[in-house]
Structure 1
Amino acid sequence: MKKNRLGTSDLYVSEIGLGCMSLGTEEKEAARLVHEALDRGINFLDTADLYDGGLNEELVGKAVKGRRCDVILATKVGNRRIPGKEGLSWDPSKAYIMSAVKESLKRLQTDYIDLYQLHGGTLDDPIDETIEAFEALKQEGVIRNYGISSIRPNVIREYVKRSHIVSVMSQYSILDRRPEEEVLPLLAEKEISVIARGPVASGVLAEAGAGKVGKGYLDYSPEELQQIRGKLESLVQPERSMSQTAIRYSLGQPVVAAAIPGASSLKQLVHNAEASESPKLSPEELNMIRSISRANVYTAHR
């Protein structure tokens, strides 16, 4: 599988990664999916301390034991549970990050994390303090590189200006083209890679996605989604299904180093991995997709 350099780092990630949030909570099945991914050339695994209360990190850690050197392991930090308080609390403080990373390392059964990502972020955060934490962990060798997972252009701009992030994870698909105007050009200019999550738009752009259009997606109505699916059918080939076309759209931007669709079954995982071998979209096909979808922009998330 093709591997791309993550920003200016020494990390080379498979262009198709595995979003581990969808692995489930059954250890054997999760291990089977992770092993299949590695066997198919997927070396980039993305988890978070938040997923299933830390269980996801534990399952990923167990699954990669003995194969750690084959894996670019990414996880995230910033959301915490405070005893006696309902739900999650946002904490991007240096003290919390320095503490949380130790717990992630234990659960992942490793002594280093390849890519440590801030799991969100706002302009009200103590951004310099957050950066200090990541830089300190990098100097200690606990993390190799760091990035942020954010869809807030103003927050992304601050980290681009003030830190040494190598990547930004952002939702990006045919139906969510918000990063194209504000985010992708800036990151390309600064040689910071994009990790595209949600390339199949919560399954709306999958083969069986017709049943998922009922709730709409972002600012698209169910009727519009049906129309887009119908028009995308013309781009489907024997070697490139609709979901693979969607994944290839996200990878059509040179600044995107990896697309990370989730997979909750072996069939899904294999199909996603095979997108790497499917034909790339031509400039004409990319233009056609842009003509039938919206160049939507960020409004609330600033």
Structure 2
Amino acid sequence: MNKRQLGSSDLYVSEISLGCMSLGSDTNKAKEIIDQAIDAGINYLDTADLYGFGQNEKIVGEAVKDRREDILIGTKVGNRFSAGQEDWTWDPSKKHIKEGVKDSLQRLGIDYIDLYQLHGGTIDDPINESIEAFEELRQEGLVREYGISSIRPNVIKEYVEKSNIVSVMMQYNALDRRPEEEILNLLSNHSISVLARGPLAKGMLSSDGINKVQYKAENGFLEYSQDELLTIVKEWQGYTGDKRTAEALALQYVLHHPTVATAVFGASSVDQLHDNLRYLEAEPLSEQSYEEIQALTKDITYQKHRMK
């Protein structure tokens, strides 16, 4: 598995990585998925304190307790919640971030977090205070690097200008090309990497894409109508075959841009994991095919939370 540098840090992440939110609550099943992912060369696991209100971190921690040296662990903070309560409030304060890291470390059963991320953010946050918290955690050795998870251009710009983030996690796929207009180049110019989540667009760019469109996009997706999506997905299958699956094509598309360090996919079963691992066997994506995919999909842009 090829690895790419995360920003200007000394962390190198596998080109495809495992988003753990979909693992479910069965620890044994989760461990099987994680073990097979690591055995295949995946070295980055992404979770968050909010997933399952802490339970996902516990499951991931249990699954990797004997394999800590093989992996990089990323988790997130910013949503305040209490055990047993399925509700949360947004809290990017320094106090909460520094409390949250201790809770995450305990649930994960580890001594440090490789990549600690702010799980959202608004332009009205006390951004300088949040940055100060992350910087202190890095100096204390509790986190190796930090980043943000956001699709808000104005928030991303603030962190680019004021902080030492090494990454931004954002939704990015061939149907949601909003990052291409301004964000990818901005981050590239500042040596900040992208962790692309949702690379299969809710499964619409998978081998089961037509079915996914029919029951997940009844009201469309972003600026696409359901009929437009069905047309695109049918043509999408034309770029697949013996040398490349639909899943592999989706992963290859987002990884084509050098600013993307890894494509973070979810898997709720070993079969889904293996579908995504077919990326490793795929014929390289040519520049011509890449441009044809861009012509097939819409060049949409962010309409909200604009940069000043």
What's 1:170 paired with? 170
Q: Of the candidates 255, 262, 269, which is equivalent to residue 258 of structure 1? A: 262
Distance 1:279 1:157 in 2: 36
Task: List per-residue Cα deviations over 1:94-133 (Å, max 9, x = no partner).
Answer: 0000001000000000000000000001100000000000
Pairwise CA distance, 1:279: 2.0
- For normalisation by structure 2, the TM-score amounts to 0.95
Q: How many pairs are equivalent? A: 302
What's 1:150 paired with? 150
Q: Name the SS for the 2:237 alignment partner.
A: helix
Equivalent residues in 2 for 1:110-125 (5 A)? 110-125=110-125
Distance 1:27 1:188 in 2: 38
Distance 2:233 2:57 in 1: 35
Q: Of the candidates 222, 229, 234, which is equivalent to residue 225 of structure 1? A: 229
Distance 1:117 1:130 in 2: 11
Which portions of structure 1, spanning 4 or more consecutive aligned residues, are displaced by more than 4 angstroms?
A: 82-86
Distance 2:258 2:51 in 1: 29
Q: Is the contact made by 1:16 and 1:276 (CA closer than 8 Å) also made in structure 2?
A: no
- For normalisation by structure 1, the TM-score amounts to 0.97
Matched, 1:291 2:292: no
Distance 1:84 1:230 in 2: 44
Q: Is the contact made by 1:176 and 1:218 (CA closer than 8 Å) also made in structure 2?
A: yes
Larger displacement relative to structure 2 (278-287 or 91-100): 278-287
Pairwise CA distance, 1:231: 1.5
Equivalent residues in 2 for 1:213-252 (5 A)? 213-214=213-214, 215=217, 216-252=220-256
Distance 1:45 1:291 in 2: 33
CA RMSD of aligned residues (A): 1.4
What's 1:35 paired with? 35
Task: List per-residue Cα deviations over 1:127-158 (Å, max 9, x = no partner).
Answer: 00000000000000000000000000110000
Matched, 1:188 2:192: no
What's 1:51 paired with? 51
Q: Name the SS for the 2:32 alignment partner.
A: helix
Residue type at the aligned position of 1:65: K
Pairwise CA distance, 1:281: 1.3
Pairwise CA distance, 1:174: 0.5
> Percent identity between the aligned chains?
55
What's 1:202 paired with? 202
Q: Is the contact made by 1:169 and 1:195 (CA closer than 8 Å) also made in structure 2?
A: yes
What's 2:60 paired with? 60
Q: Name the SS for the 1:17 alignment partner.
A: strand
Q: Is the contact made by 1:82 and 1:89 (CA closer than 8 Å) also made in structure 2?
A: no
Larger displacement relative to structure 2 (130-139 or 277-286): 277-286
Distance 2:241 2:66 in 1: 38
What's 1:131 paired with? 131
Distance 1:200 1:40 in 2: 20
Distance 1:301 1:79 in 2: 20
Residue type at the aligned position of 1:198: G
Structure 1's 83 and 205: CA in aligned 2 closer, same or farther, altered over 3 A? closer
Pairwise CA distance, 1:81: 1.6
